[in-house]
Amino acid sequence: MALKFPDLRRGWAIARALLSVYYAYMVEYRAELMFWVLSGTFPLIFMGLWAKAAEGGQFALDSATFIRYFLAVFLVRQLTVVWVVWEFEREVNEGRLSPFLLQPIDPVWRHFFSHVSERFARLPFIAVLIGLFLWLYPQAAWVPSPSQLALGLIATALSFCLRFIIQYTFAMMAFWTERASAIEQFWYLVYTFLSGMIAPLAVFPEAVQKFVLWTPFPYLIYVPANILIGQPTPIGQGLLAITGWSLVFLAINRWLWKRGLRQYSGMGA
Amino acid sequence: MQRYWRVLRLFWSTAIAAELEYRLNFVIAAISSLGGLIGSLFGLFLFYRTGYEFPGWSWEEALVVLGIFTMLQGFSATALAPNLNRIVRQVEQGTLDFVLLKPISSQFWLSTRTFSPWGLPDLIFGLIMIAYAGSQLGLPLMAYGLGLPPLLFGFISLYSLWFMLGATSIWFVKIYNVTEVLRGLLEAGRFPVVAYPAVYRVFFTFVIPVAFLTTVPAQAVLGQGSWGWLLGSAGLSLLLLQISRWFWQFALRFYTSASS
């Protein structure tokens, strides 16, 4: 099916409508949003540990680089938070998916744009926290070059898409089991330790490093964070890996979606 | 008092009976805790692998802290999270009315109503880790006993903080995730508090008392505890518990129930 110009224009109109609706919705619950931002302090805790450790021990990076790295991790993590599996699971279990199936738009777009618009509502809180830590550690402040910034943001956007697709794939399991989020929780555990959230891959043992680079995990946090702070990273390879993994999961996702819809027997279906 | 024991037994036996319906969940929980354990060990190993040490804490000693942290996680998954995260829903749906009408303390009801065996694997793994590190260090059996009181105080402090955060839902209904913030900050308890820079240490001792939750019990186990810290953690836990009770009474005055 070729994409025609009117299709594109219609798509843009839908995207804009959904974005503004969900943005208004997210801004409504600012306090809740602030707490979500604050609950992502995990990288900031590890920042303190590594900044102190690098002053006393022999590590691949120096103290200021660690701080910079973890600030970037914090940023990337905030911009790539995804919770679609919980919402989708509830929609399937309670049968609320049924009315959405009648609409002439794939239900995924609602979820996708609600995530995207939430990013914008989050921005002020993120800025305040990063500002606070830059005030605590002025020596770590850095100004990424325009190309770094552009590449870093592209990489972050792509890894958000990857994370979204992966989680939406897990969400498909809701058609078969009531607790699809259990899969996500287990995945999240591995993600915490291998994505570079607890430490940059540079301090991992060589063998673990090599192994991890074959999994999707480092492309969700480590690679975009590293690009943002201008640490040497194979950028092309990273972007390629993010896209590659996205396509793999996208294929699985669409296949499961088709099978799942046949399986779906929620209320009203 | 006796009545409370009887009620507690009833609460927990029904809760366990209900959870046993989902035995597969328990297997999943066990696998998850094992995964979490491997991850935690890996995280600690990254620091110690090049010969660096947290000031004054050898690898085995740091393992004791991690073990206590794992137990604390198990405790919150077993007793705290299933109960206290539910307060919000009770307020939102107005079912808190039914709790308030019962002839027992509403705080007791809300804090002990269910019990989820999901956290048990964490408690067991934590114990194993402490026992392993202890045997490597040649700790006498007595040492583990010494760790118990501060650990208990830690549990009480954590409970009180969590309960108070849950109680704020009387005013702000839509903040069920405020406990997530606490949980996020508790992650700092994985490591002895000296591993952090000075600003963090102040924060984790006086603002969110993470140091009292894991470092102080670990020091007691290792025989490095001092009376000052022990008294501090006892005082803190009792104070927090009392404040949580006052706070709940205070909060209830603002509860307007669903229909009024």
Q: What is the pLDDT of residues B27-72, one digit of tens each?
A: 888 888 899 999 999 999 999 988 888 988 999 999 999 999 999 9
The answer as to whether A92 is a domain residue is yes
- Please name the residue that has the structure tokens 């990063």: A130
Q: Which of A103-107, A121-125, A264-268, B145-149 has the lowest mean pLDDT?
A: A264-268
CA distance B186 to B213: 9
Distance from C-alpha of A157 to C-alpha of A213, rounded to nearest angstrom: 19
In-domain check, residue B119: yes
Q: In this complex, do A49 and B52 lie within 8 Å of one another by their Cβ atoms?
A: no
Those residues with Cβ within 8 angstroms of residue B217's Cβ, 6 or more apart along the chain or in another chain = B68, B147, B150, B151, B154
* Whether the predicted pLDDT of B94 surpasses 90: no
Question: From the CA of A113, how many Å to the nearest CA of chain B?
Answer: 22
Report pLDDT digits (tens) over A161-218: 999 999 999 999 988 888 888 889 889 999 999 999 999 999 999 999 999 999 999 9
A151: in domain: yes
- Taking CA atoms, what residue in B is nearest to A189? B36
Nearest-10 crossing angle of helices A108-136, A63-79: 150
| pTM, to two decimals | 0.89
How confident is the model at residue A2, as a pLDDT? Answer: 53
- A219: closest CA of chain B, how far (Å): 19
pLDDT value for A33: 84
Q: What is the tens place of the pLDDT at every residue in B138-158?
A: 888 888 888 899 999 999 999
The whole-number pLDDT of residue A1 equals 46
- The whole domain housing B177 covers 2-252
| A56 at B interface, C-beta within 8 A | yes
Is A178 inside any structural domain?
yes
Rg of chain B, C-alpha, whole Å: 19
Counts for chain A of helices (H) and strands (E), in that order: 12, 0
Global ipTM: 0.87
Q: Taking CB atoms and an 8 Å limit, are B49 and A205 in contact across chains?
A: yes
| Residue A52 falls inside a structural domain | yes
Poorest-pLDDT segment among A45-49, A187-191, B251-255: B251-255
Least-confidence region, from A238-242, B222-226, B247-251 = B222-226
Within a domain: A8: no
> What's the whole-number mean pLDDT along residues B242-249?
93
Nearest to A59 among B50, B172, B183 (CB): B50
Does the beta carbon of A236 lie under 8 angstroms from any beta carbon of chain B? no
Residue B257 lies in a domain: no
For residue B221 the two structure tokens come to 């186990």
| pLDDT surpassing 60 at residue A268 | no
| A147 in any annotated domain | yes
How many domains does chain B contain in total? Answer: 1
Range of the domain at A28: 13-263
CB-nearest partner of A58 from B31, B50, B55: B50
Is residue B258 one of the residues assigned to a domain? no
- Cα(B30)–Cα(B257) distance, rounded to whole angstroms? 39
Q: Which amino acid is at A268?
A: G
Q: What is the pLDDT of residue B258?
A: 60
Structural domains in chain A (count): 1
Q: Read off the DSSP letter of residue B54.
A: B
Q: Confirm whether A75 is domain-assigned.
A: yes
Q: Is residue A4 part of a domain?
A: no
